Amino acid sequence: MTNIAEAQLIALDWGTTSARAYLMGADGHIVAERSAALGIMQVASKAQAETQSLDEAFKATLTELCGDWLDNFENVPVIACGMVGSQQGWTEAAYRPVPANLADPEFELASVEIAPGRTMQIIPGVLDLKELPDVMRGEETQILGAIDLAALNADDSEEQLFLLPGTHSKWVKVSGRTITEFCTSMTGETFALLSTQSILSKLIEPAPS
């Protein structure tokens, strides 16, 4: 087990309805983690209710989630992915169009100041500019992690198909470490609406807890 004192990175998956924070060691292992219902929608509501700017609200939320980590590891980099980088988030990290090499060291990160002299980097999402454009934010990081965990060859041109279930499920084609195309299916959201707000909901047995 990696000692928490050896933490080398504070990583966040900051989405629409929730935020997850991970303290990571040099070997890539997670040494501590936290999650809370502090997504960008909640931050925006908080900013409006407390007459704050979005920047102030995001800083306060980051402190609420992992302020002690930020204090205890002043020199550790902070990086985030997900909807925090959208137009409705803290700051916009421009999409990368497909084909998008997830391991390209040259792609541009967005950044925000989280304390005097300290910034948080935000990973951009991916855009598939087809007839009906499709986007993802956060899933691209999960895919890169899955590729590395599976020890897939970065130079292998054989196409891989990834399915990321969720509110808006993603079907993603990947060659090596490059996303070549993807599509989104609103299966999770559709099921939630049908099972709670439609006439069919009367016929659906609740899942055992």
Total structural domains within the chain:
1
Q: Three-state SS across 87-133?
A: CCCCCCCCCEECCEECCCCCCCCEEEEEECCEEEEECCCEEECCCCC
Hey, what amino acid is at 15? Answer: G
Neighbours of 82 (CB within 10 A): 26
Let me know if residue 116 belongs to a domain. Answer: yes
**Angle at CA 19, nearest 5°, toward 90 and 21?**
105
CATH number, domain of 103, equals: 3.30.420.300
Let me know if residue 208 belongs to a domain. Answer: no
Let me know if residue 209 belongs to a domain. Answer: no
Provide the 8-state DSSP code for 200.
G
pTM attached to this predicted model: 0.84
Let me know if residue 104 belongs to a domain. Answer: yes
What is the average pLDDT across 167-188?
90
pLDDT tens digits along 1-45: 456 778 899 999 999 889 999 999 987 889 999 999 999 999 999
Let me know if residue 95 belongs to a domain. Answer: yes
Residue 131 makes CB contacts below 8 A (sequence gap 6+) with none
Q: Supply the range of the domain harboring residue 137.
A: 4-202
> What is the structure's pLDDT at 153?
73
Strand order in the sheet with 178-185: 100-101, 178-185, 169-175, 159-164
Percent of residues, the chain, with pLDDT higher than 90: 66
Mean pLDDT value across the chain? 90
Let me know if residue 76 belongs to a domain. Answer: yes
Q: How far apart are CA 202 and CA 194, in angstroms?
A: 10
Contact 44, 57 (CB under 8 A): yes
Let me know if residue 207 belongs to a domain. Answer: no
